[in-house]
Amino acid sequence: MILDIYKDSFEYASKNVKNLLILGVFYLFGFLVIPIFFILGYNYRIVKIATEGMINGNDELPEFEDWTLMFVEGIKCFVVYVAYAIIPIIIFAGILFGCSQINNLSLLILGFIVGIIITLIFTLYSFLAISHMATNDGSMKSAFEIKEITNIAKSIGWGRCFTTYIGMLIIVFVITTVVVAVIVAILMLLGFATISAVPVMSVATATGVISSLIVNFVITFIVMPYLQIFQSRCQGLLYNIR
């Protein structure tokens, strides 16, 4: 079932290249903040379609239309994600601060692990909350019906929920890493890059700057939109098997 969700989501993300590229433009201008809400609104529509469809169905990517509604839906999603992020951030910070005060490395490591687990749980809840909101006519109140969302998670199966979510994170990480490695390797073969082209490292040469820009452009314009569509589709399909 989980592999079917991944397969469907990969195929779905490549169904409409035009919409994929339009989403990529929003990602490129995400630093302006406003485009982020349109990205979230578009992803919400993908989730909504998935919750109303089925695995290996004939669903199409949503069109970019009704921009005002898309923006409002994006704001709703932003509020939901932030609300679910606040508690684990506070808990995480409290655990790390408390452990650091005791000055015990073992407790600090244990606290870090506990904080990660709590963050994963709340992130999973936020994903289910968005899907639950999508199936309730966009009602933000439904996104915070913790008891009902918990029952939905139980219906899906906690093991299936976490396996799907963690697997999705691994897939996103691996694909991003491989794409970066391939682009850098190609640029190095063409003489346009050195190891400094890797985005996380300092760039000291003109070729390094150009290479870094190329890598970041491809990741932001193509890879991130594709993986976001993949993730949103997974999010909705997982909820739909409740």
Phi-psi region of 33 (alpha: psi -120 to 50; beta: other; left: phi over 0): left
pLDDT digits (tens), the chain, 242 positions: 889 999 999 999 999 999 999 999 999 999 999 999 999 999 999 999 999 988 888 899 999 999 999 999 999 999 999 999 998 888 878 877 776 677 667 777 777 788 888 889 999 999 999 999 999 999 999 999 999 999 999 999 999 999 999 999 999 999 999 999 998 888 888 776 555 444 544 444 566 677 788 889 999 999 999 999 999 999 999 999 88
HEC assignment per residue over 167-218 = HHHHHHHHHHHHHHHHHHHHHHHCCCCCHHHCCCCCCCCHHHHHHHHHHHHH
Residue 60 phi, psi dihedral angles, 5° rounding: -110, 155
pLDDT of residue 208: 67
Q: How many domains does the chain have?
A: 1
pLDDT of residue 201: 46
Quote the pLDDT of residue 193.
59
Instruction: Quote the CA–CA distance of 211 and 186 in Å, as a whole number.
Output: 10
Q: Which domain holds residue 97?
A: 2-240
What confidence score (pLDDT) does residue 203 get? 43
CB-CB contact of 228 with 23 (8 Å) = yes
